[in-house]
Amino acid sequence: MKRPFGVSFSAVLLILGSLFQLLMAVGMAFSGVVLRTQIHSGGFPGATAAAPVPDWMPVFMYAFCVFFIALAAWGIVTAVGLFRLRRWARYSVLVIGGLVAVFSFVQLLVMLLMMLVPLPVPPTVDASQMQTVLAITKVVFGVMAFVHAIVCAVGVSWLVYFNRQKVREAFTGEPGTVVESRRPILISVIAVLNMIGAVSCLLMVFLPLPGVIFGWMFDGWGKAALYLVFAGLTASVGVGLWQLKEWGRLLALAMQAFGLVNTAVYILRPALMLRYVAEIQQRMTPMQPQMQLPERFQATMYSVSFGFGVLLCIAIVAVLIYYRKAFQRAVEPLQIESASPL
């Protein structure tokens, strides 16, 4: 079957996006080298005095470099598979589309919030220029919101387009024959998100930032144990959902219930989150005074983030309940086969 134009166009978009990810990787690697040089040389000649850069910051930059390279490799491999009409490439682009849609939508909400909530103006800005600075800031956030809206629309369009029957037929190699996947695309997206979360938990073990749960902060071996446990749980959820195991669905539901309870603690006691943020700021730049944002702005930001977290947990629970039959079908073929030997 001839390759549809939309498939080729999507492959080109993936390649362009992957090249951008590679550019980001180069930028992160360069930043890591610059910061490492600054740490070992004690600063650059002629530079103004500033807070010392933490020793772990270059490692943090290198980790992001590897992360962006992995994303670029995923996109390029998927694009090649789309050009060759490989069935696995359609599944891969559906997962990529779901992730792009979710994360871009979150960024879109953040940018819109930045436009609505008044931000503090640096004291160095002249009073006569304050309105101009605020207007320019809103324009910048508006442009960024527009960009994230376009990226989100691309992700949603991939979810719709690659689920069309004609497109699915193009990837089977036999017109009129569609091979259905037992795993719903939303389950695949949740599984991949959990696998990414497991890797993030492992990275947090090596960062000198405290772990927190129910408002309690952990350091040292306690923090390492906390993140290792969560890495194991989220990885198990990802594998279980990907293989359509019922225990994976139940474990995912339990993790969402735990997340809702943890979020409720911060909603009822917002001072716990403020204390945690202050601790992180102190460790990031211990010698530099922090610019404190207005309490109203901080409260609004945390309320919106927690509210979105609650909605996301509820949405995931709804998906897991709605597609519960997909986890039961995983054992039906064996029963049918054993029941019909004749």
| Mean pLDDT rounded to a whole number for the chain | 77
Helix, strand, coil percentages for the chain (3-state, nearest 5):
75, 0, 20
Give the whole-angstrom CA distance, residue 322 versus residue 186.
11
Summarised one tens digit per residue, pLDDT across range 200-240 is 888 778 777 778 887 788 888 888 898 899 999 999 999 99
Backbone angles phi, psi at 86, to 5 degrees: -80, 140
Task: Quickly state the pLDDT bin for 321 (edges 50, 70, 90).
Answer: very high
Q: Tell me the pLDDT tens digit for each residue of 230-274.
A: 999 999 999 999 888 999 999 999 999 998 888 888 777 777 776
What's the CA gap between 298 and 113, in Å, rounded? Answer: 12
Number of H helices, E strands in the chain: 12, 2
* 224, burial (CB in 10 Å: exposed 0-12, middle 13-18, buried 19+): middle
Over the stretch 84-127, which tens digit does the pLDDT of each residue have?
Answer: 888 889 989 998 998 898 888 888 888 888 777 766 655 665 66
Compare 8 and 46 and report the one with higher pLDDT: 8
pLDDT tens-place string over residues 50-64: 455 667 777 778 888
State the pTM of this model. Answer: 0.57
Q: Do 278 and 231 form a contact (C-beta atoms < 8 A)?
A: no
Between 291 and 229, residue with greater pLDDT = 229
**Residue 213 bridge partners (DSSP):** 216
